[in-house]
A and B are shown apart, each in its own frame.
Chain A
Amino acid sequence: MRSFEKALPDFDSRKIRVIAISVDTLAESEALRQSQGYTFPILSDANDEVIKRWDLVHAHGRQDGADISRPAEYLIDPSGKVRWANFTSELTVRARPQQALAAVDAMNGGSPSKGGG
């Protein structure tokens, strides 16, 4: 997520909001934002309600056996349609912001929009 934080100006120039979701509590997420300097919002799905509805549950994925979200990245367009989805199969591999930005540019007609700063 650090790489997404660094790429926020590129998302800003394309008018794309970046929002993270986990099952952590509000306090845990806020502590993470503070310690890592994240400025995008982190939503708290503490009851697993959304990750269940989105079928992204990693059952017993946490060390203490709790159900958590598997890693997944989405691009949603203004109509609410999924334009890009990325599901890693390995814990150590995550989507890079460049992949999401490329999906945004593809959505916007294939040519990279101006900006980047």
Chain B
Amino acid sequence: MKKSWNGLIWIGVLVTVLGVVSYFTFFINFPVLRDFPWVNLPMIALGLLLLGVGVARAFRQPQIYRGKIFGSVLGVLAVAFAGLFCWLIFFGAKMPPVGHGAPQAGQFAPDFTLPDSRNNSVNLASVLSSPFTPNGASAPGTGAAAGQTAGVVLIFYRGYW
């Protein structure tokens, strides 16, 4: 009897590889999916699962399914590949320790003036001393609203490249 090629193994390998590669080629462009691989991790898990089922049935029913040897080899490679990906994302992506000069709680924040994305000049001190304008309404520190600004939340981020 001709043995089945055991397509699950091949599909599993394909899905696993695609799960890793597509992170760097495609999903990295989406901030949310870059910061945490919401699509890629499930994809890789699915690939490994299919591969696992394929290899398992090659061992259980070797008279029907091929793949005891090449399935095991591919399985080890796929797990290593997935492991490398996870290491890169979760450990290779460790941030450097914060510099000693970074202002800490209780210290005064160095003032600055920078342009916003519409080229309005924004000065931290003047935002802090201005009447409050709701977020999203206009450039900070412009226009009058009820009450003084109670503070500023600054979000430094890596940028979206």
Contacts and interface: CB of A to CB of B under 8 A. Distances in A.
B145 to A, nearest CB: 9
Contacts of B95: 58, 70-71, 87-91
Interface residues of A, number: 75
B151 A30 contact: no
Interface residues of B, number: 61
Contacts of B90: 90, 92
B142 to A, nearest CB: 11
A89 B94 contact: yes
Contact of B110 (A22, A54, A90): A54
B152 A42 contact: no
A50 B103 contact: no
Contact of B114 (A43, A88, A90, A91): A43
Contacts of B125: 80
B1 interface: no
Nearest to A60: B96
Chain B facing A: main interface SS: loop
Interface string B138-161: 011000000111111111111111
A17 B149 contact: yes
Interface in B94-115: 94-112, 114-115
B79 interface: no
Interface string B119-149: 1101011011100111110011000000111
Contacts of B120: 41
Nearest to A53: B110
Interface string A42-56: 111100011101111
Interface stretch (B28-36, B42-50, B61-69): B28-36
Interface of A: 1-2, 4, 8, 11-12, 14-24, 26-30, 32-33, 36, 39-45, 49-51, 53-59, 61-64, 68-85, 87-92, 94, 100, 104, 107-108
Interface of B: 31-32, 35-36, 89-90, 93-112, 114-120, 122, 124-125, 127-129, 132-136, 139-140, 147-161
